[in-house]
């Protein structure tokens, strides 16, 4: 790929300095994004998590609320994100033998997407799970945070892995 073929970064001005993208001319549409992340731990910790036996209490209830709050606070944490009228945030968990998968979906009717809000929700929820289990597993690992899907807006719908070259 030549330099002229490379996509340009939307948050950089011609002189290379950072700038918030002007979205004032974009159409208001329903936009949704889903992200995922994983907290890897031990089978013993997962048993405590499933039975509510952790020293700090119900980790998943705390992490769910933390993830929702994280989505709402995204423009305060990520400098060039636009404040959005978020209409829905869901944070769900899938428990495995040695892991917790965190899934977050965020929805809005606005002029820009909610991928960053979904990623922030997953990240904050995963960090909260870690905080809740660290007393019994300081070696837990958060990994695989990524956008799974987005819909709405000029670029349309997108699902991870579809139509991507290797």
CATH number (domain holding residue 79): 3.30.70.640
CB-CB contact of 102 with 122 (8 Å): yes
**Contact present, 30 and 156 (Cβ < 8 Å):** no
pTM value? 0.88
pLDDT of residue 134: 94
**Structure confidence at residue 104 (pLDDT):** 98
Q: Which domain holds residue 42?
A: 33-151
Catalytic residue among 5, 131, 137, 157: 131
| 157 given a catalytic annotation | no
pLDDT at 9: 64
Q: The tokens of 54 are what?
A: 């952790």
Per-residue confidence (pLDDT) for residue 17, from 0 to 100: 80
Burial bucket for residue 45 (CB in 10 Å: 0-12, 13-18, 19+): buried
Question: Rounded to whole angstroms, what are the CA distances from 93 to 22, 37, 107, 119, 129?
Answer: 35, 10, 18, 15, 10
**CA–CA distance, 10 with 150 (Å, rounded to integer):** 18
pLDDT at residue 1, as a whole number: 43
Q: Is 107 inside any structural domain?
A: yes
Q: How many domains does the chain have?
A: 1
- pLDDT (tens, 9 = 90+) of the chain, 166 residues, equals 444 555 566 777 778 788 788 888 888 999 999 999 999 999 999 999 988 888 888 999 999 999 999 999 999 999 999 999 999 999 999 999 999 999 999 999 999 999 999 999 999 999 999 999 999 999 999 999 999 999 998 888 999 987 654 4
User: Does any domain span residue 160?
Assistant: no
Residue 163 included in any domain: no
The whole-number pLDDT of residue 53 equals 85
Residue 84 lies in a domain: yes
d(CA 20, CA 78): 11
For residue 157, being part of any structural domain is answered with: no
Phi and psi at residue 59, to the nearest 5°:
-60, -40
- Assigned domain for 22 exists: no
As a whole number of angstroms, the distance between CA 113 and CA 88 comes to: 13
Query: In this structure, is residue 58 part of a structural domain?
Result: yes
């Amino acid at each position: 790929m030549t330099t002229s073929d490379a996509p340009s970064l939307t948050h950089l001005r011609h002189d290379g300095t950072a700038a918030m993208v002007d979205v004032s001319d974009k159409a208001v549409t329903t936009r949704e994004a889903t992200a995922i992340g994983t907290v890897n731990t031990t089978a013993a910790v997962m048993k405590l998590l499933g039975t509510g036996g952790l020293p700090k209490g119900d980790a998943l209830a705390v992490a769910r609320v933390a993830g929702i709050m994280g989505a709402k606070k995204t423009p305060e944490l990520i400098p060039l994100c636009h404040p959005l009228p978020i209409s829905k945030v869901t944070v769900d968990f899938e428990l495995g033998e040695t892991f917790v998968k965190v899934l977050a979906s965020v929805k809005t009717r606005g002029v820009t997407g909610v991928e960053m809000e979904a990623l922030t929700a997953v990240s904050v929820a995963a960090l909260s799970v870690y905080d809740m289990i660290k007393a019994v597993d300081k070696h837990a690992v958060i990994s695989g945070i990524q956008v799974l899907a987005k819909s709405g807006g000029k670029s349309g719908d997108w699902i991870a892995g579809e139509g991507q070259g290797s």
